Each structure stands twice: as structure tokens, then as C-alpha cells.
Structure 1
Amino acid sequence: MDSETLQRRRSSCAAGNNNNAVVGAKRVKRSEILAKKKAVEELIKAANAVMNPLEAFHAYRHFRLNGLCVCLKSGHGNQLSSAVKQYIQRLLKLNMEGPYGSEWLEEEKVKRREMVAPEARYIFVHEMADSSADEMRIMLTGEDASTPCLDDSGPLVGFLHYRFVLEEEIPVLYVYELQLEHRVWGKGLGKFLMQLIELMAQKNCMGAVMLTVQKANLQAMNFYISKLRYVISTMSPSKVNPMMDKSYEILCKTFSDEAKAVLEN
């Protein structure tokens, strides 16, 4: 065999080995991607499987501050009573018809479908039947304030609708709605509920909490950005394309470097 032929064979073998290495690397990368995807899906599944997430947060079962005394209950979208559905619809219209403006008629239909979805999770806020008497009883008896809401708890004064979802392959807790009656605004209840949501997200290994806010809802924008330190996400229309004329912003607060790199930077 002449030297030229030998050299060609060596080059061919080297090329073949390189091709095999590339194919092998692609297979490894693909298997890693699939494994990561499966792990993330399992996180979402495990989070959704928790029947009563409030059991893990005893300190957040009640809120007593600024003359307001409420207790919290958890719920699921496909288990709502007719009365609760009507309450949600009424409060949504009361709070959101103004910020949505001409978009409300269509948006209301969307929200009605979203609220009863099986993956919808809720925290319901009930006013205590007798707030002053309840506070006095706890002060006198030293009773554990973390006792869960009883069936005779008072009327609803608000709710929080959230879901565990994937955004850009990052597992997140997405707040669909945080709605409170006007008479309980300004007492720290909204901040209290968002603190609970952030703890729930971290406990379930979510990379972030995300939510959508109407630009016209200046009070909500100020609440999330200035008071709670949320930032406009890279997924928000104003960041994706500044020329987009959308009526909302997507906000986020991240808990991991990966989530921060994808959703913030």
C-alpha cells in the first residue's frame, strides 16, 4: 500500500471517529435535555398533588392586623361551589372592568373558563365571624393562632388564584388573580398573601413567581414593583418588542440563577 492511500485511509478513519464523537455528544445532550424536562414535569406534578398547601404554613393560616381578622382556606378550580363561582365573577368584574376597559367583555369570558380549570389552585380569604371576640379569646386563653378555618368562618373578602406551570422551560408559580374587596385594601393583606405565595413557590422548588398586570392598573403596578420588588420579565411584550402596543406587563421574582437568566436578564 502506498503512502498516499494509507494517508487517505487514516484521514477517513479520523473523520469517522469525529462524526461518531459528534453523534455521541448530540445523543448525550439530548438525553440530558429529556432528563431535565422529565424532572421539571415531576416537580409540577408533585406541586399539583398537594391537596392542602396551607398545612405546611401554620403561621399564614390567619391574618390579624390593622383591625382586620381573616383566615385562609385552600381550594381547587374543579371543586368550586356555585356560590363561590358567583363571588369570583362578581369581584373580578368589580375590580377589573375598569383597568381592562373595552377588553373586559372578552377577557371576562376567558377568566370564567380559567377559574374552573382542574389545574387552578386557590387561596380563599374569609373574614372571621367575630373578629374582635376571636382576638380577645386568643389573648386570654393563649390558644394557638394557627388553628385552621372552621366551617362557620365568615364571608369571603377575597381570593388568590394560582397555578404551577412551565414558562420557557422554567417551573414557576403563576399568580392568575389576586382580588380583594375594597374595604380590606391598605391593611397589609395583599403583601401577606404574596409572601405566602413566594414561600409556597420555593417549597415546591419553583424557579420564580410570575404574574400579569394591566398597565392601566397603576395601583397594582406600584404594589408589585415598588413594594414587593418584582421586575418586568423578559417575556413581557415591552421587553420582547418595545414596539408592541400591549395593555399589560408580565412581572416576575426569581429564586434561582437559571430562572433569573431566562426570565429577567
Structure 2
Amino acid sequence: MEKSAADGSSMENRSKRKEILEAKKARYGLINAACSVEDPLASFPGCVHYRRNGLSLHLESGRGEKLSSPLKQSIRSLLKINMEGHYGREWPSEEKVKSREMIAPEARYIFVYDSPYMRSCNETKFSPTRESKRVLVGFAHYRFTLEEDLPVLYVYELQLEPSVQGKGLGKFLMQLLELIAHKNRMGAVVLTVQKANLSAMRFYIDMLRYSISTISPSRVDPQIAIHKNYEILCRAFDHEAKAKLV
């Protein structure tokens, strides 16, 4: 007995649905696999120290649900120093949002520490037991997530203490995040920047060559964008991500 056109169409639809579900499952699999990596920096041992332009710093991985109370306070202090002026009157409410975000289980971190003890030992070995000697001078908060159904590394925060700014550390951290994204098969690195933060906009667009994404308010709807105080930037790594996000 010959199959009817309706039967053929039904089979084709089921096949498409199955293909879509399998692709979705694969994307979530990538996210889950990336999130399960205990220490992303272990794959890049050459990047755990930053010794340039008069700086001697040590990098460590971290997770939002494992932050100590002193570390939470250091993060809040650095956020306030760098961001309060850009948010203005919106800062008190935004600070609450960022405080919730920073301890989320999906939050991942790269912490940057200065250590006088390490310098006093001719920088031969970093000693994590000297907790009181370490000073947090910067951090990156990132997550593995989906944007436009694509797995991406989303940079929530990149914050540096003023004394270490302008010395190549920010560029180094972003390049490291891109390496982590590649290692975990993410399609792009995505981030949000306040329009008022002109130095950050120049840093990402002019120095690092990030693009304003198709999902940024200014490209989705310029009329709505007038009332939005941020842009979404991205760097895509593959054709699919470039087609959807750039």
C-alpha cells in the first residue's frame, strides 16, 4: 500500500522535531560539560601568573556558591568603586542585583590576587596559605549559557582595581576567557557594557574588536534602545554564531 502525502509530511515533521530536540540536547550537553569543569585554569597553566608592566599577580578559579564572606565583600567593594559612577542613582538597586548574581551556582570566576609575600620570595612560588597577605585586585565573573539557542560564554563582570588598570591585565583576562570559551566549544563570548562607560566601550570595540551584537537593544529596535543604558557586545567563533549574533 502506498503512503499518502499526509503520511509523508507527518514523518518529515517528526524527523525535523527529532533533529531539533537532538540539537537542543547537544547544546545543553555542552553547557553542562563546561559547568562541570572544576578548575578551567588547569588547562592553561601558563596563564595562572601575570608578570608584566610592573605587576606580579596570581590567578585562581572560583564558583559563586563557594565564595567566602571576605571575598564577597572584596567583590562588592570593587564593583562599587568601578560602577557606582556609571549607574548614578540606579546604583543601589543595581548593586542588589549584582549581589544576587555573584553568588549564583552557575557563576564562574577568575580571581586576580596581588601577593606581597610572593614578591618577597623572589616570585618563585605562590603560597595560598598566606591568605592574609593576598589582596584581590581584579576578577572576571562569567557563565556558560545559551543566547539565540547557541552555547556562549557570557562575561557578567570584568573588574580591576584602579592601580592595575592600563597595564594589559584586562586584555589578558579577556583573551583567557576566549581560550576557555574555545576549550569548552562555545560559539561566542558575549558581554554587556554600560553606554556611559566610554572607556569600557573603547576597550572592547576599538582594542579587542568586539562587535555590537544583533541581540543588543540598539540593533533590535533603535527606538526602544533610546531608553536602554547598555549595549551587548560579542565575538563569535563559528559561522552559526556569526550569523545569529554579529
Pick from 231, 245, 248 the counterpart of residue 230 of structure 2: 248
Structure 2, unpaired ranges of 5+: none
Correspondence 1:238 to 2:218: yes
Is 1:158 the counterpart of 2:177? The answer is: no
1:203 and 2:203 equivalent? Answer: no
- Partner of 1:243, secondary structure, is helix
Aligned to 1:55: 42
2-side partners of 1:59 and 1:150: how far apart?
18
Distance of aligned partners of 1:149 and 1:237 in 2 relative to their CA distance in 1, 3 Å threshold: farther
Match of 1:72 among 59, 65, 86: 59
8 Å contact from structure 1 (residues 161, 177) kept in 2: yes
Equivalent residue pairs, number: 242
> Where does 1:23-172 land on structure 2 (aligned, <5 Å)?
23-130=10-117, 132-134=119-121, 136=122, 138=124, 150-152=128-130, 154-172=134-152
Q: 1:90-110 CA deviation, whole Å, 9 max, x = no partner?
A: 111110011112221211111
SS of the residue corresponding to residue 65 of structure 1 reads coil
CA contact (8 A) 1:69 1:127 kept: yes
Distance 1:235 1:149, change over 3 A: farther
TM-score, scaled to structure 1: 0.87
In structure 1, how many angstroms separate the alpha carbons of the residues matched to 2:145 and 2:25? 14
Q: Which aligned pairs between 1:12-23 and structure 2 lie closer than 5 A?
A: 17-23=4-10
Counterpart of 2:150, as a letter, is I
Which digits, 9 at most, give the CA deviation of each residue in 1:107-150, with x for residues without a partner? 1111010000000001110012246545x455xxxxxxxx7663
Separation of aligned partners in 2, 1:151 and 1:98: 36
The match for 1:144 is: none
| 2:51 match: secondary structure | strand
Q: Distance in 2 between matches of 1:137 and 1:164?
A: 33
Residues 29 and 149 of structure 1: CA distance in aligned 2, closer, same or farther (over 3 Å): farther
Q: Give the one of 196, 200, 203 matched to 1:223.
A: 203
Following superposition, the deviation at residue 151 of structure 1 comes to 2.9
**Percent identity between the two aligned chains:** 57
- For each residue in 1:171-197, what CA deviation from the matched residue of structure 2 results, as whole angstroms up to 9, or x when unmatched? 000000000100000000000000000
Letter in structure 2 aligned against 1:252: C
Q: CA deviation at 1:165?
A: 0.3
| Structure 1 outlier segments of 4+, above 4 Å | 130-134
What is the alpha-carbon root mean square deviation over aligned residues?
1.6
Post-superposition CA distance 1:193-243 (Å, at most 9, x none) = 000000000000000000000000000000000011100000000000011
Whether contact under 8 Å (1:129, 1:152) holds in the other structure is no
Partner of 2:245: 263
Unpaired runs of at least 5, structure 1: 1-12, 139-146
Contact 2:118 2:126 in 1 (8 A): no
State TM-score, norm by structure 2: 0.94
Q: What is the DSSP-based 3-state SS (H/G/I as helix, E as strand, rest coil) of the residue aligned with 2:57? A: strand
Range that drifts further, 97-106 or 86-95: 97-106
Query: Aligned partners of 1:162 and 1:195: how far apart in 2?
Result: 13
Identify if the C-alpha distance between structure 1 residues 45 and 20 changes in structure 2 by more than 3 Å, giving closer, same or farther: same
